[in-house]
Structure 1
């Protein structure tokens, strides 16, 4: 990988950052598009990341085939590699013009700009509760957006008049190469105003040779992603955080909070839950907020050791369930989601047997929460408009889980430390605010 940065601590070697499978897919797509449009097969491309800056990525293979092109990138996990480290992420790409002719796909401007399909080794989503709809390729929202933004830039490099010769040789389900039967696909709109979209459509097929074997070492099958790996990434980068390095980061943040005079520390599991806690606890200084990821027990113990006597947790439902079960470390790769406690709570408050059964068999904690909402007659943000005293079944179950999670934290922190837990819905609604 070229153009990556690292992190340096005193007396330690430099840790090298890597890039995500989403970045690898996007880089391969840019290379294939450039090859098709200009005849140039680049040895590297610059990928625009969600933060707005560009990352140079080496291209392992790039070949033109007349009216389509393909390119491959070797995914680099840096110094914190996962199962996809060194996997080959490949893209086949062809272009077409918008047309009202059903024989060419019946494509209309605004209906979609990129047709993304899953090739061999990339999974298909088969269960609810994930950020991608059932039946679609297992390519997460941020990589989809990266793909659209980068291909828009790449096509924009070519004068518009040069696009008039683009062939109409494909439609929604017809490409000039052999694809796996039944490949899942989805249309991705062009970013920005509709009038800024190019007058072409792009068909992208992403594949990962050996991806089905790699997926056996992940939780994909349990989550309902079948046939291969998922294309992931939220920043486009893989940060080189070993357990020790992340624990050191938490310790440094706690040190800063203590040294700036904070009496209370707010432990969030990530950026989204921290943002929600900041909005609710807007009187606290920014140093009070510490992102702890999955290091629940470590963070609580270190906060107590640093002298904090008031700890607030800001979490989503899935983390709260694992905390309530006493897991000191909550990452999905180490701790599988066990929804039996949620189902048991639902049964104890008298929810129907069918609802309890569905919760027990839910795909994810998010899915279980959706089942609870539906059984309570509320969907999404309607929960925040619920009757007073949290009388809905969803609130009663969630509060039980939240209380047990807070009790587990209290057991770690000790009697002299106050513990509060804020449990947020995925849309930002506060579902529970409990103390222990």
Structure 2
């Protein structure tokens, strides 16, 4: 069986994935909120006056003001001279973004140090880095580079760090609970959330963070010496993938969503040797057509391709016509299943996807592809490594 290889496409995704009659409201990153809380606490420590509002600078130069939910001054126990400490809370507003950390109480506790300079630590609710590949020291707090710089600049606006020593502890009440709904544990960030943000601003429904998390997950896996990444489109396909490859460590399984192209590019850059893609019919159909970013706003299932697969698998003219006119990729899958052709057609579809991914990786990776049913309970076809 031969077929023409499709052109490869990795379309851009717009900032918002939904059309709204009104503009979506932006929000603030955990990094921006932690910075604001730090500046409020330090200002209170210097002036002796609790702060109700604070202004900070964002990385692009914009100045923004944050309300301070709580700001307290208290003696610091065990500090020579009875020096004070201050604590401030800024509540994260994620705007219209469905962010698990929306409403988080970013808390900064600030105290003086005898040695000039800034020491930044993570308190309860801020994750601890336990694996390499994140660009952060193992054993340290999961506070990324941009928030670290923002906090340092905010502190520098209040005191001269060349002559004054400041200790800042960032904590997040209930942060460990929030982290259960993130990928932190898989990345080796334990005990809480990450303090993140490259701009300080949360763009509503932005998929940039998801794409970045996919790439980061591949980097973390590679940093631990693993050489095969398993790309899953969601939770159900991940369950199937884990059952298929039970001996692989958890870090090898990456929920790729729509960003297969980004994940494969990262895998090649990191010197990996193998990729296993596990998905359902719709995503596989898009990939087989050469579409490497598969969000519904930028691609659709090519039913004529599925019709051609049906014919190559031995389907009669009526079945080919029915699949070509199917409503969705899932509908085509069901037509194959009803006709007793699911295994044969599914295997051919997986082989097409394998050819696309290998070509996209310029043959730098071994590729295996598996098609799972819509419950994620079983593999029904593959590119040859597993029986359908």
Alignment length (residue pairs): 263
| Higher CA-based Rg | 2
Paired with 2:253 and 2:60, the residues of 1 have a C-alpha distance of: 29
Q: CA deviation at 1:362?
A: 6.4
Query: Per-residue displacement from partner, 1:342-401 (whole Å, max 9, x unpaired)?
Result: x99xxxxxxxxxxxx7xx3364689xxxxxxxxxxxxxxxx99xxxxxxxxx85x53x43
Q: CA deviation at 1:198?
A: 2.4
TM-score, structure 1 normalization: 0.48
Inter-CA distance 418–30: structure 2 relative to 1 (3 Å threshold): same
Paired with 1:92 and 1:120, the residues of 2 have a C-alpha distance of: 12
5 Å-filtered alignment, 1:299-310, equals none
Asked if 2 retains the 8 angstrom alpha-carbon contact of 1:125 and 1:225, the reply is: yes
Asked if 2 retains the 8 angstrom alpha-carbon contact of 1:139 and 1:231, the reply is: yes
SS in 1 for 2:111: strand
Inter-CA distance 422–152: structure 2 relative to 1 (3 Å threshold): farther
1:53 maps to which of 44, 57, 62: 62
Which residue of structure 2 aligns with residue 249 of structure 1? Answer: none
Asked if 2 retains the 8 angstrom alpha-carbon contact of 1:143 and 1:234, the reply is: yes
1:361 matches 2:249 = yes
Q: CA deviation at 1:218?
A: 2.4
Query: Per-residue displacement from partner, 1:295-335 (whole Å, max 9, x unpaired)?
Result: x9xxxxxxxxxxxxxxxxxx9768999xx867457xxx998
5 Å-filtered alignment, 1:80-229, equals 80-98=97-115, 113-156=117-160, 197-229=161-193
1:62 matches 2:90 = no
SS in 2 for 1:70: strand
SS in 2 for 1:134: coil
Which residue of structure 2 aligns with residue 13 of structure 1? Answer: 22
TM-score, structure 2 normalization: 0.54
Paired with 1:45 and 1:83, the residues of 2 have a C-alpha distance of: 24
5 Å-filtered alignment, 1:371-410, equals 395=271, 397-398=272-273, 400-401=274-275, 410=287
Q: CA deviation at 1:41?
A: 2.3
Which residue of structure 1 aligns with residue 288 of structure 2? Answer: 411
Q: CA deviation at 1:65?
A: 1.9
Structure 2 gap segments, 5+ residues each: 1-14, 76-83, 255-267, 291-304, 306-351, 368-388
Paired with 2:32 and 2:114, the residues of 1 have a C-alpha distance of: 26
Paired with 1:130 and 1:362, the residues of 2 have a C-alpha distance of: 16
Paired with 2:133 and 2:252, the residues of 1 have a C-alpha distance of: 6
Paired with 2:202 and 2:69, the residues of 1 have a C-alpha distance of: 19
Asked if 2 retains the 8 angstrom alpha-carbon contact of 1:32 and 1:93, the reply is: yes
2:32 maps to which of 13, 23, 37: 23
Q: CA deviation at 1:240?
A: 0.7
Paired with 2:62 and 2:241, the residues of 1 have a C-alpha distance of: 40
SS in 1 for 2:289: helix
Which residue of structure 1 aligns with residue 44 of structure 2? Answer: 35
